[in-house]
């Protein structure tokens, strides 16, 4: 098959959606399909990324370093590209990115089916009234249009599919976010007292709650240490709080680390995940489990599913510091067994790429019958 993934961002710009798209693209190529990624950035050009043809157009009007828009005529040009290259399926991701709308409209003009994958489980969580209003307007207009008009809609967790139906009235199938398989190891480390936070250092992500949890557990006599892995606007504030809580030498905050380093630091450790943002499905939960670690988390999308698969996951009763301390304390007192591969095997990209291929073939077959 020939598949065009039309997205705003693609690595080297990093984030959950970007890694999802890249990993899926790489695995589709491994399965023998031809894959193009059409994206936008400040450095336009063409390149090959492990067999994926990446075509980057100029980005315009950056908004909060998160969203940019393509140039005038992008829909027409992309539609022509789809026709000339005889693309079978168009893949778009996340309802509020302008390239998702452009990709959908281009595919409609070219008569090509579209799979939209939604990654958000709710409206944007923010205390900024301008951002709140702007994001809500986008969701109720462009976002709703995309969800209602894509040929097929996936959501990366049950919480996401529920949100899709709430916003658009459209049924969406669960297509779980996935991870690259762990590297073979003779044995996993086992260090549940090493607590790790992974995420952006921004309001709502939970870095401050993580530090409060570490401080409280040490006051209670637990020999725990920790790491804050990630960059962001509040990294300096996080480092200041480490000092203020007397955790220098106990908790480190190195800033951004590579995905490979994250996996190494999660190995055998306990991931503490106190986020209150509208997450879709955090692959870090699965990565921790696959690397022989354990997870303590607020109630977030995917956590219940993992717990039901007998993964070593403890879910706090409430989204509060007190509840997170209690959940972490219970895990430290009686650490659950490390996960066996069968628990997370179906949440790896080689498996999920096969499922995506099946969905694409079904769309092509159905489209050919119309």
The predicted pLDDT at position 264 comes to 95
Q: What fold characterizes domain 2-178+348-367?
A: Rossmann fold (3.40.50)
pLDDT of residue 65: 62
Residue spans in the chain of domains classed CATH 3.40.50.2000: 2-178+348-367, 194-344
How many residues are given for the chain? 370
Tokens of 362: 């079904």
pLDDT at 148: 98
pLDDT (0 to 100) of residue 136:
85
Look at residues 341, 360, 347, 354 and name the one whose alpha carbon lies nearest to residue 30: 354
Burial of residue 106 (CB within 10 Å: 0-12, 13-18, 19+) is: buried
- This prediction's pTM: 0.87
**Pairing of the two strands 114-118 and 251-255:** unpaired
Coil, strand or helix: which one is 178?
Answer: coil
- Measured CA to CA, the distance from residue 210 to residue 22 in angstroms comes to 30
For position 64, what pLDDT does the model report? 62
CATH number of the structural domain 194-344: 3.40.50.2000
Q: Which of 365, 351, 362, 349 is nearest to 20 (CA)?
A: 349
Q: How far apart are CA 70 and CA 74, in angstroms?
A: 6
Per-residue pLDDT of the chain (370 residues), as tens digits, is 999 999 999 999 888 899 999 999 999 999 999 999 999 999 999 999 999 999 999 999 877 666 899 999 999 999 999 999 999 999 999 998 999 999 999 999 999 999 999 998 888 767 778 777 878 888 889 999 999 999 999 999 999 999 999 999 999 999 999 999 998 876 778 999 999 999 999 999 999 999 999 999 999 999 999 999 999 999 999 999 999 999 999 999 999 999 899 999 999 999 999 998 767 788 999 999 999 999 999 999 889 999 999 999 999 999 999 999 999 999 999 999 999 999 999 999 999 999 999 999 999 977 655 4
CA distance 270 to 265: 10
pLDDT of residue 280: 74
């Amino acid at each position: 098959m020939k598949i065009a993934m039309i997205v705003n961002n693609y690595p080297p710009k990093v984030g959950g959606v970007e890694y999802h798209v890249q990993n899926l693209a790489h695995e589709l190529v491994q399965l023998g399909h031809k894959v193009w990624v059409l994206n936008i950035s400040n450095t336009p050009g063409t390149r090959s990324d492990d067999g994926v043809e990446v075509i980057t157009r100029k980005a315009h009007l950056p908004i909060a370093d998160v969203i940019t828009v393509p140039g005038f005529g992008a829909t027409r040009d992309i539609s022509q590209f789809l026709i000339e290259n005889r693309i079978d399926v168009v893949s778009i991701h996340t309802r509020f990115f302008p390239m998702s709308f452009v990709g959908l409209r281009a595919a409609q003009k070219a008569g090509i089916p579209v799979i939209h994958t939604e990654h958000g489980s709710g409206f944007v969580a923010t205390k900024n009234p301008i951002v709140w209003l702007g994001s809500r307007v986008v969701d109720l207009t462009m976002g709703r249009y995309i969800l209602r008009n894509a040929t097929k809609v996936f959501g990366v967790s049950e919480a996401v599919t529920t949100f899709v139906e709430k916003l658009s009235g459209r049924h969406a199938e669960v297509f779980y976010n996935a991870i690259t398989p762990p590297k073979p190891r003779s044995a996993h480390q086992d260090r549940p007292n090493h607590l790790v936070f992974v995420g952006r250092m921004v309001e709502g992500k939970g870095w401050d709650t993580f530090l409060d949890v570490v401080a409280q557990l040490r006051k209670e006599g637990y020999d725990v240490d920790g790491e804050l892995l990630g960059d962001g606007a509040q990294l300096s504030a996080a480092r200041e709080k480490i000092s203020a809580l007397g955790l220098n030498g106990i908790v480190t905050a190195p800033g951004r680390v590579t995905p490979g380093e994250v996996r190494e630091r999660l190995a055998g450790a306990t991931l503490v995940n106190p986020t209150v943002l509208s997450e879709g499905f955090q692959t870090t939960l699965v990565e921790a489990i696959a690397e022989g670690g354990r997870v303590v988390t607020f109630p977030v999308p995917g956590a219940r599913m993992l717990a039901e698969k007998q993964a070593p996951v403890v879910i706090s009763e409430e989204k509060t510091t007190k509840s997170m301390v209690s959940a972490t304390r219970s895990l430290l007192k009686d650490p659950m067994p490390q996960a066996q591969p069968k628990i997370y095997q179906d949440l790896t990209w080689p498996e999920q790429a096969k499922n995506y291929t099946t969905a694409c073939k079904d769309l092509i077959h159905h489209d050919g019958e119309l």
